[in-house]
Chains A and B, each alone.
Chain A
């Protein structure tokens, strides 16, 4: 670059002057002009007062900007945290699915085993009958038959008890639905950070809480929902077995 070819001058934007400082400066100049016009001996105290006011206004403005920036940073931080909590809810749902799958597989294995035991007990009982017909000691056969019956007796009850797996599956699925509602709410909150209108949307949580109630599939879940809501009320559940017709069998 030669001296004849000067570098292009960069345009530097003028410094931003806060409106409050401008207003104060204008007021100060106005006061000075008025003092001159009316022949006041010295504008000293008035100028000092306005100068102090201007400094205060500028300080307040700068402090406000700094506080707003800090608030904004905090909001970003909270939004980040919320995003991480959403990841936690996904983790919990994935664990719930694993628990359901694993318990279903185990319950089925146990159920198959119990049915096999039941079948083999029937085979044993038939064998004992054949031995008895072939002249085996009746007392010994009877003793063995009682042992077989005693071993087979709990099988049906144990199979019935395996229904727990279906009940806990539905409870776990309900937890997964709750966690989805929470994730949705956290997503809303993260998006609302920094949005002044968020204050108008504070009913969202109530809606989600009511949605959780709609998602229930058993009385114990609704009782828990009421308890979480501070309501001490147990649902009337009715009998475990109910037929919808009268004694004569007519509806």
Chain B
């Protein structure tokens, strides 16, 4: 099964998603900030999917997506945004940064698993 890289400044969100996705059989890597995520990716982490929050102290989710999109080997990795924000203009911003999809918190476990399976059909 693929590794899913979770990035959120909320420990509760990380643990919640880790359990939901871990029980479905996915490997999990975690970061609590955009900067930490970039550092892990630069060290060679190659996840099958990135799930990131938008509103984080320091580097926000959109900036992180832009950075990931210019990193070698990560240009086409799917990136899901999970956020409290649901404004269309913000979605458009994420889409322009080449995010793969958008989920509004709180995310229902079934919705999360359905979307992840859609993006990673081979597990």
Q: Measuring CB to CB, which residues of chain B are less than 8 angstroms from any residue of chain A?
A: 8, 10-13, 15-16, 19-20, 23, 55, 84-88, 91, 94-95, 98-109, 111, 114-115, 118-119
Contact = CB atoms under 8 A, between A and B. Distances in A.
A111 B15 contact: yes
A167 B94 CA distance: 20
Interface stretch (A11-19, A87-95, A231-239): A231-239
7 contacts: A219-B87, A235-B86, A236-B88, A243-B100, A243-B118, A244-B102, A245-B100
Interface in A183-232: 217-219, 222
Nearest to A165: B12
7 smallest A-B Cβ distances: which pairs? Answer: A163-B106, A166-B10, A243-B101, A237-B86, A218-B84, A107-B12, A111-B15
B13 to A, nearest CB: 5
Contacts of B118: 243
B106 A170 contact: no
B107 A160 contact: yes
Given A118-B23, A166-B105, A159 B15 contact: yes
Interface of A is mostly: helix
A244 B100 contact: yes
A157 B85 contact: no
B86 A118 contact: no
